Structure formats: structure tokens, C-alpha cells
Amino acid sequence: MKCQEAILEHVDTLGPAELRALATRLHELVDPDGADAAAQQRLDAQDRAAMRSRYLRLAPDHHGGTRVTALLPTAHAHLLEAQLDAIEPPLSSYREAGELPSREVRRADALMLLVQAAAATGQLPAHGGDRPQVTVTLNYDTLLTGLGRAGIMGADDLDGLSAGDARRLACDADLIPAVLGGNSRPLDVGRKHRLFTPAIRTALVLRDGGCAFPGCTARPATCEAHHINPWWAGGESSLINAVLLCPHHHRLVEPDPQQSAESQWQVHLDPDTGMPWFTPPTHRPNPHTTTTPPPPTTRTHPATQGTTLPG
């Protein structure tokens, strides 16, 4: 009762936060153990709410920049802040270039130094089956003349990249020439050799443009390379035995040796265009799915804008 009276005495003079602090202090004096338990419950609830609310967004401004916004749990933010403080360039490094940047500018530079340091370790996980790389795409006829449009692949919505930025990216990335024939089919994607190599994935991206399943618009970075003829059945890891699929459709078409082929989805490559096409299980046909080889068209998959692909 006395606690309530003490709080009521200050209702007109204290704000909500101050009243809450007063109530907490009174609780600590009257019931220390209960106050500690209540405080821990409150902190746990705040942590759970912060985890549910976390996000990071990258939004290109289409003027050469990208706006980065984020909301992190406090513990995560402290960890990031400590790393940024440790790697932030000193002012002396800017004075040599005649700059006096704000703290915000130095923080932005520190973030990129942190990312570059992580990338340089070579310990980052593969991205969709291969490490990040820069692919220079040239038409075969263009290659013969030494001129043409170079397309940078490996990142979605890469907009407004200058030639200087492209050269900088190429310095530390795997640079793979992807030479295309007259119908834009991959002829040569470099000299990397292992099971479903980065070169094979590059060719799949150029050919399929993302998940090849009819109607799916999943981008290459989220897709996996699928053996059309399974590895366990003697299939090779090669371009003519591969198709790019999102995880959902990869699970859908993955053959089950306990079931007949006719009762499962099947993947085929058109002998003329080299493009994949699908047949549904015979006992549950899908009227919205193309079951015969599609005619050559210009693909407009979001991840391959500007690259003409058949089918």
C-alpha cells in the first residue's frame, strides 16, 4: 500500500519512464528476489522481441549508391560495433588524400573493410554451390572482333556498375569468360574441373536463367544444380546432365528409386535448343505445365536481364 502511495505522489511530476523506474526501485526494496526474477523475464522478452524484429535491407538508389538499413538485437549490434571500431581507418589515413570524413563515412568504410577481410579469408560458405565470381559474357562474333557488351553475372539487380567498379571486382574474383554461340548457348566457360564446378553453374545460369521449372521465377543465387540422370544411377556431373532448380522444385523432381519413372516428374533437354523441359507424373497431370519442348523464345528471367537465351 505504501508503495502505491509513493508512486501516486509523483504521478503529476514524473513521466512514464521515470514512474516505471520508481516502481522497479520500490519492487527491489520490498522483494529483491522477485524483482530480479521479474527483471530477467523482462529482459528475456525484450531479447525475443528484438530477434523477431531484426532485418537488413539493401535498396539501390539507381544513382550509383545503395541504401543499407538494419535493425539488430542489441547484443548483435554491440558485436558489430566492436568490430567496426577495431577496423575503422584512422583520420591520418584520410588526411594523406586531403579528406576529413565524418564518423558516419568512416563507419561505412569500416564496414566494407570488414566485408573484404571476411572475403579474403576464403572461409565463407559457397553461394548457391559456388564462390562469388565475375563472369564476362561475350557473343562469339563479338569475341572475334574484340568488341562488344560485357555482362556481369553473379549478383541480382546489379545496376549502374561503372567500368572502374567492374575492373575492381574482377581483381579479387574468379574471372570466367563465357563465350556464347549464335543462339546464345554456352560454348566455353573457363577451365575449372570438379563435380558441378563453378564453370558448370555459370553455364546453367546462362542457359536456364534461374529455376528452370515452368512458371518459377526463383533467381540463380537461390537455385541448386540437379543431376537429370541421378549420380547414384551413373549420371555425370556435366552441363548436358544438369538443370538449375530452386530447392522446392529440386525436391519435387528428385527421382525416387522406389517409384516408377512415369509416376514422377521427369526432366529432359531439348536436342535442338539444349533447353530443359518437364513432364508431370502421368497419374496427376498439371494443365499449367508445358510437357513438350517449348519453342525458342527470349527469356526474361530477372537474373539474366539483357542476356538473350533460347526457350
Please compute Rg for the chain using Cα positions.
28
Same domain, yes or no, for 215 and 298? yes
Same domain, yes or no, for 209 and 283? yes
CA distance 76 to 6: 38
Same domain, yes or no, for 113 and 141? no
Same domain, yes or no, for 218 and 256? yes
Is 56 domain-assigned?
no
CA distances from 111 to 82, 83, 153, 176, 194 (A): 11, 9, 24, 28, 34
Same domain, yes or no, for 79 and 103? yes
Same domain, yes or no, for 210 and 283? yes
Is 146 domain-assigned?
yes
Predicted confidence at residue 295, as pLDDT, reads 45
Q: Which of the 8 DSSP states describes residue 130?
A: B
Predicted confidence at residue 24, as pLDDT, reads 72
**Phi first, then psi: what are they for 177, rounded to 5°?**
-80, 125
Predicted confidence at residue 55, as pLDDT, reads 94
CA distance 132 to 189: 15
Same domain, yes or no, for 216 and 264? yes
Is 57 domain-assigned?
no
Predicted confidence at residue 108, as pLDDT, reads 92
CA distance 202 to 204: 5
Q: What is the pLDDT of residues 126-164, one digit of tens each?
A: 555 455 555 556 555 554 454 444 444 444 444 445 444
> Which range of residues forms the domain containing residue 178?
133-188
Is 236 domain-assigned?
yes
Same domain, yes or no, for 11 and 36? yes
Same domain, yes or no, for 222 and 291? yes
Predicted confidence at residue 139, as pLDDT, reads 56
Is 108 domain-assigned?
yes
CA angle, 233 as apex, 228 and 237 as ends, to 5°? 50
- In the chain, which stretches have pLDDT less than 70? 1-14, 19, 25-31, 35, 96-97, 119-196, 283-311
Is 22 domain-assigned?
yes
Same domain, yes or no, for 173 and 209? no
Is 309 domain-assigned?
no
Same domain, yes or no, for 215 and 288? yes
Is 195 domain-assigned?
no
Domain count, the chain: 4
